[in-house]
Amino acid sequence: MTDWIGLANFAIAVSALTVAALGLALTVSIRYVERWNRRFFALLFTLLAAYIGCDLLAQLSLLQGAEGSAAASQAATFFESLFSSMAMPMLTLYLLRCVGEDRRHSNLYAVVTGLWLVYFALLVVTQFTAEIYYFTPDNVYHRGPWYPVLLLPPALLMAINAVALRRRRDRLTRRQLTALLSYVVVPLIAMLIQMTAYGLYTIVAGTAVAELCMFLFILLEQVERYVRAREENANQRASIRVLQMRPHFIYNTMMSIYYLCAQDAERAQRVVLDFTQYLRANFTAIAKEDAIPFEEELAHTRAYLAVEQVRFEDRLFVAFDTPHTLFRVPPLTLQPIVENAVKYGVDPEREPLHIMISTRKTERGSEIAVTDDGPGFLDADSGGTHIALSNIRERLELMCRGTLEVSLNADGGAVVTVFVPDAAE
């Protein structure tokens, strides 16, 4: 292949390999990229480099003509096709990740995986027949009459991903949609060109351009999210300060200590210690910009409840079931939730309030549940509850992509559930 097509294909492959190397270097070095995205794009660019490396080996083997090995050319072409085909299932995986769908229960992912397996089977069959493509003993590549059949599964994969992307477009950000569209449209156009332009490997260039475009759009979104999070963190810190301004609680606690000093000095000392720990945790939380170990938040909550149980005595009962504590949460996540339960649940005219604080490890992360048997606070007159929970929900999303859900208990009361995904998620 010493004509212009051979030179063009070689230039395309070298350029695409450079793109793969650049993308991999950016993925590893830029700190704004989330861990899951970093791993995804590292694998994607590695597959691209392997794909293009096999393409170059195939070109070099064909360039040798009769002196080259037909078996080597066939093997390089097989792995080239195999590595390139993996891009479509990975696109589906990334789309499902963006919209929050579990691939293990996704019909879309099952169909895409099935089609990819069909393509893989066709590649294997190709090694034993000349109907799709073949190499002559003198190392010359030829397409067989059934060559378009080999391209049918990848074309269907692209079409299915395009339809899936269109149906889920409302659940994607603008940059996510643009990134995924480029990953579908550019290779599809390149494949159509390659089907009509015999010998020109436009799909190599199309794949490299599509992956780089996708990565750059996602990178821009990651940087924008990081900058926005940094800006909003200052606002959230101000919100935390507002959240801590509870003069009635401080006043009532000091009065309780005042009366306890005369009635039970030892108990008064314990309340002073608990109250001091509570205040120290509040002041520490104001200065924190990152997530903290859940054990610290739990200790803060225990100190708060110890003070409240002195005030309310036999009207407040708390139980803990927290075997799992090895995860991190934004500061002031659990304590304000518990405080809301106490605020709206302790009533002299009602039965004593019972609160259960529990944690558990799930497949995808950690879960905290605060359950009470009070009247619930979903429809409280004051908007303070909603502001506090919204504040916690926003900080969970910004700092660890966590969630907060509120529901009513079937037997009365409220349940607040916090989910914190694992760091790898």
User: pLDDT digits over 372-387, tens only?
Assistant: 988 765 444 444 456 6
Residue-wise pLDDT tens digits, 261-307: 877 778 788 888 888 877 777 767 666 667 889 998 998 898 888 88
- Is residue 105 in a domain? yes
Q: Which residues, 6+ apart, have CB-to-CB distance to 302 below 8 Å? A: 320
Residue 112, token pair as written in the block: 């895409």
Residues 168 and 256 in one domain: no
Residues 270 and 412 in one domain: yes
**Helices 87-99 and 107-126: crossing angle, nearest 10°?**
170
Q: Which of 355, 300, 360, 363 is nearest to 325 (CA)?
A: 360
Residues 334 and 222 in one domain: no
- Contact status, residue 336 vs residue 243, Cβ threshold 8 Å: yes
- Is residue 238 in a domain? no
Q: Which of 218, 141, 151 is nearest to 178 (CA)?
A: 218
Q: Which of 143, 149, 135 is nearest to 71 (CA)?
A: 135
Sign of CA dihedral 361, 365, 370, 371: negative
Report the pLDDT averaged over residues 60-64.
68
CA distances from 179 to 83, 95, 175, 216 (A): 21, 10, 6, 8
Q: Would you list the DSSP string of 342-384?
A: HHHH--TTSPPEEEEEEEEE-SSEEEEEEEE-SS-STT-SSSH
CA distances from 284 to 287, 297, 300, 308, 394 (A): 5, 11, 10, 21, 20
- Nearest 5°: CA angle at 106, between 184 and 39? 60
Residues 55 and 204 in one domain: yes
Backbone angles phi, psi at 138, to 5 degrees: -90, 20
Q: Which of 234, 338, 341, 335 is nearest to 282 (CA)?
A: 335
Residues 205 and 75 in one domain: yes
The rounded distance, in Å, linking the Cα atoms of 183 and 164 is 13
405: amino acid identity, one letter: E
87: amino acid identity, one letter: A
Question: Could you give the 3-state DSSP secondary structure of residue 371?
Answer: strand
The rounded distance, in Å, linking the Cα atoms of 156 and 206 is 17
187: amino acid identity, one letter: P
Residue 213 predicted with pLDDT over 50: yes
Give bridge partners of residue 368 from the DSSP assignment.
359, 418
For the chain, the helix, strand and coil percentages under 3-state DSSP, each to the nearest 5: 70, 10, 20
Q: What is the pTM of this model?
A: 0.53
Q: Which domain holds residue 211?
A: 4-227
Higher pLDDT among residues 143 and 247, named by residue: 143
Higher pLDDT among residues 216 and 46, named by residue: 46
Residues 295 and 211 in one domain: no
Confidence of residue 6 (pLDDT cuts 50, 70, 90): low
Residue 124 predicted with pLDDT over 70: yes
The pairing of beta strand 414-421 with beta strand 403-408: antiparallel
Residues 252 and 197 in one domain: no
- Is residue 399 in a domain? yes
Residues 194 and 267 in one domain: no
Residue 277 sits in a domain whose CATH number is 3.30.565.10
Say how many CA atoms lie within 13 Å of 166 toward its Cβ.
8
Number of domains in the chain: 2
- Is residue 239 in a domain? no
Q: Which of 65, 56, 195 is nearest to 133 (CA)?
A: 195
- Contact status, residue 70 vs residue 135, Cβ threshold 8 Å: yes
The rounded distance, in Å, linking the Cα atoms of 421 and 403 is 9
Residues 251 and 181 in one domain: no
Residues 61 and 171 in one domain: yes
Q: Which residues, 6+ apart, have CB-to-CB distance to 142 below 8 Å? A: 130, 133, 134, 135, 136
Q: How far is CA 360 from the centre of its chain?
A: 20
Point out the domain boundary residue: 227, 257, 291. 227
- Is residue 367 in a domain? yes
Point out the domain boundary residue: 227, 254, 270. 227
Confidence of residue 112 (pLDDT cuts 50, 70, 90): very high
Report the pLDDT averaged over residues 167-176.
86
Residue 173, token pair as written in the block: 């950000």
Question: Could you give the 3-state DSSP secondary structure of residue 2?
Answer: coil
Residue-wise pLDDT tens digits, 7-34: 777 777 777 778 788 888 878 777 767 7
- Is residue 15 in a domain? yes
